[in-house]
Amino acid sequence: MKKILLLALGVVVLNTNLMAKMKYKSEDLTFKQAKYRCDHNKDAEACMWAGVKAWSKRKDKLGFIYSKKGCDLKDANACLNTAYNYKKGYGVKKSKKMADKYYKLWRELKAKK
């Protein structure tokens, strides 16, 4: 539970400007809806929310998969979540190199907004 709270808090604190520009709020989508929009519509933000919803159910691997999908589709928040997962080893093997790569991508995407 602590890691989910820290992850959510990190996104909110580090990404306040990006959060204000989001299409959805957490309560707008169920995991199933977010997953569908991610998988079928290639909706990057929905992928990020699918990842967050999966983590809230303590499904770290699934959370990582959907956050990475969102990042691959250029959602900055998803890249931040992906970096955090690599840093802490949630749902993926811990890797400072990969965490740094995704933190860098997050900063680049954040700067474009």
What does the pLDDT read at residue 45? 93
CA-to-CA dists, residue 98 to 23, 25, 26, 45, angstroms = 28, 28, 27, 21
State pLDDT tens for residues 50-106.
999 999 899 999 999 999 999 999 999 999 999 999 999 999 999 999 999 999 999
pLDDT of residue 1: 47
Q: Which domains does the chain have, with CATH numbers?
A: 2-14+27-112 (1.25.40.10)
- The per-residue pLDDT for range 19-32, each reduced to its tens digit, is 446 666 656 789 99
